[in-house]
Amino acid sequence: MARWAALRLRIFPRDNYTCRRCDRVEGDTSLLVCDHVDLHRGNEQLFWHEGNLQTLCKPCHDKHKQREEQ
Ligand SMILES: [Zn+2]
């Protein structure tokens, strides 16, 4: 999705390529995840709202999602 790819590339530099959970700086954007703070549940406004997006490293993101699914 081109629009999403462009948005990610705005969020990562905004957060200085730093994971908001563990403060790890990750220069390789393939190891960063652009995560929704509040679940968007199909809500487009929430989905695209930059204030609802945060940078997480992959390990934190995966842990976080696992917890939510339990
Ligand atoms: Zn992290």
- pLDDT interval class at 69 (50, 70, 90): low
Locate tokens 């549940």: which residue?
A: 41
What separation in Å is there between the alpha carbon of 38 and the centre of ligand 1? 18
What separation in Å is there between the alpha carbon of 36 and the centre of ligand 1? 15
What separation in Å is there between the alpha carbon of 37 and the centre of ligand 1? 14
Q: Tell me the per-residue pLDDT of 33-61, one tens digit each, with 9 for 90 and over.
A: 999 999 999 999 999 999 999 999 999 99
Show the domain range for 43.
2-69
What's the CATH number where 64 sits?
3.40.1800
Q: Name the domain count of the chain.
A: 1
According to the model, what pLDDT value does residue 66 have?
Answer: 74
Please give the angle made by the CA atoms of 54, 59 and 61, to the nearest 5 degrees: 35
What separation in Å is there between the alpha carbon of 41 and the centre of ligand 1? 24
What separation in Å is there between the alpha carbon of 40 and the centre of ligand 1? 21
Q: Which of 12, 47, 39 is closest to 26 using CA atoms?
A: 12
